[in-house]
Chains A and B, each alone.
Chain A
Amino acid sequence: MDSIMRLVDHLRTELMELNLRSQTKDEVLRELSDLLPIDEKSKEMLIETLKKREELGSTGVSRGVAIPHCRSLLVKKLYIVIGRSRKGMDFKSLDGKPVHIFFLIVAPPQEPSNQYLIALGKVAQMARELSKKKEALEIEDKQDFLRFLSKLDSG
């Protein structure tokens, strides 16, 4: 199952913000959630679940990357939202360093193929590669950023 899931198939330019304005953890969860195609009420509820997930342990997995995630009834499919902050922000990361790249992952609970955990694994793997590339903070265009991520996804 792992080998047939391509992360790039879930990445969209409309689910991407390369100039995040947020300064705090709560703000960035909101800014990223704002890109999801769900109504305002659902968004508020989803943000609450994401905050609760953070209470279990920060999803700032180090190397300047955070992967906030949760499962929720409020979405009908797996979504991956990408955000970037050139300046970086304090996300209470495991290594204490500022976070520059965010991957917000939300998935429905009724997902038989368990793409959620596979996506989390693949994003974490991509994050390791991403942290070694200076282009990650330089690329301006969303399509170019998507192409850059595609290269990392294919190995």
Chain B
Amino acid sequence: MHQQLELLIMLHDVDLLLKESHDAETSRQLKKIGFKMGKTTKKIEAARERLLEGLDRDIVKRYRRLVKRYDRAVAPVLDGICYGCYQVMPTAMATDKDRNKEICLCPNCGRFLYWIEK
């Protein structure tokens, strides 16, 4: 897997975790289930900063732009479909090649792509 894609995936998952911890409705549901969500996210935010430092500046810029627009900047590709915009990938992209060895963007929505089925 491309090292920058690794960082992007981890950044995405950390952002999702932070978002859920800050979201009042999700927190309420998790508390109802029995989980106690701490308010301190400093350690996680520090880890997030380290991930951002490892990413190329252009990728960070694009990531931030995509988050602003779509909330989530990285989308998985399953069965040749981008699960960000639900559009089918062009046949030229659906090859046997390991697409995760490079940084791919969805030609429709522009999100970073992570190919789950290689």
Report how many residues on chain B are interfacial, defined by Cβ distance under 8 Å. Answer: 36
Known: A45-B6, A52-B44, A52-B47. A94 touches B36 (CB 8 A): yes
Which of B10-18, B55-63, B89-97, B102-110 faces chain A?
B10-18
Stretch at the interface among A22-30, A83-91, A116-124: A116-124
Least Cβ distance of B118 to chain A in Å?
Answer: 9
Chain B positions within 8 Å of A, measured between CB atoms, are 1, 6, 9-10, 12-14, 16-17, 20-21, 26, 29-30, 32-38, 40-41, 43-44, 47, 72, 74-76, 78, 83-84, 114, 116-117
Of chain B, the residue at the smallest CB distance from A75 is B116
Distance in Å: Cβ of B83 to nearest Cβ of chain A: 4
Which among A13-21, A66-74, A132-140, A142-150 touches the partner chain? A66-74
User: Is A73 within 8 A of B74, CB to CB?
Assistant: yes
A53 in the interface (beta carbon within 8 A): yes
* A73:B38 contact, CB within 8 angstroms: no
> Does A57 have its Cβ within 8 Å of any Cβ on chain B?
yes
Residues of A within 8 A of B10 (CB): 45, 48-49
With A45-B9, A73-B114 in contact, is A57–B37 under 8 Å at CB? yes
Extra contacts besides A73-B13, A108-B83, A109-B72 (5): CB < 8 Å: A52-B14, A56-B40, A58-B36, A76-B116, A109-B16
